[in-house]
A = this chain, B = another copy of it.
Amino acid sequence: VNNLNEHTGALIRKLESTFVLSDSERAVLTRLPMSLAQLRRDQDIVRDGDRPTRSCVLLEGFAFRYKTTAKGERQILSFHIPGEIPDLQSLHIHKMDHSLAALTPCKVGFVEHEEIQRLVESFPRIGAALWRETLIDAAIFRQWMLGLGRKDAAPRVAHLLCEMFDRMNAVGLAKGDSCPLPITQAELADALGLSGVHINRTLQELRRQGLIALSKGSLTIKDQTALRTLGDYDPAYLHQEPWKAA
């Protein structure tokens, strides 16, 4: 518990992207006790089977959750951007059923479950907002399932790129039609249930059609309409509209 505030900016920005916080709510969040850590790329934060007593707020950088098959194949379940709490579910589900790792070097804050419990008891609206975040998480899982189960490679890739751009945009991390997206083709493959080779060819096709540019960790959406149509993308499932005043 080694900080005071200024670290929670990403968290507050994220919550405020769908929620209007009152002053007292913002104040208590700013002072939320967390212990900071800096993580290397690819470092596990929590592992499948762990029983963590704290959750992890992503302050800078990107993370992802994944599971592994008996024969060692990896499925990436979600990508996480600054301000998110990727393992909030461990608050009520005590044993991890998947792992969480750093996609890039990143800065995180660990908050004890006890602390979160106190927070949601004293500030029920924050409790509801956090519950809501976990529900949006689930909505994203459902959307990915539709892709994994029923879409061809190109629409799958297109959809993911649309989603990541919108999520980055919602927390102010996109500029114009570009945003950081430091994801490897192998990671894309593991997220979309495809092989690295096929991801490569699909990306080339999207580039050839002038829909996107993606290189050196940066994504540019060159033809949003076409990309959304191809990916059958409708951002409604992200439930991003600010919705309830303080």
State the A residues within 8 Å of B (CB).
49, 65, 67, 69-70, 73-75, 77, 89, 92-95, 97-98, 121, 124, 128, 131-132, 134-139, 141-146, 148-151, 190, 192-193, 232, 236-237, 239, 243
Contacts and interface: CB of A to CB of B under 8 A. Distances in A.
A72 to B, nearest CB: 10
Main secondary structure of the interface of A (DSSP, over half): helix
Find the residue from A124, A134, A232 having the highest chain B CB count within 10 A: A134
A150 B75 contact: yes
A90 to B, nearest CB: 9
Contacts of A143: 67, 97
B92 A132 contact: yes
Contacts of A135: 89, 92-93, 134
A145 B69 CA distance: 11
Nearest to A239: B93
Nearest to A129: B92
A144 B243 CA distance: 31
A121 to B, nearest CB: 7
Nearest to A134: B135
Contact of A145 (B75, B95, B243): B75
A73 to B, nearest CB: 5
Contacts of A145: 67, 75, 77, 141, 144-145, 148
Contact of A134 (B65, B94, B138): B138
A236 to B, nearest CB: 6
A67 B146 contact: yes
Contacts of A146: 67, 69, 75, 77
Contacts of A243: 94
A93 B67 CA distance: 26
Find the residue from A65, A92, A136 having the highest chain B CB count within 10 A: A92
Contact of A77 (B75, B95, B128, B142): B142
Contacts of A136: 93
Nearest to A241: B95
A11 to B, nearest CB: 18
B132 A134 contact: no
B98 A142 contact: yes
Nearest to A71: B232
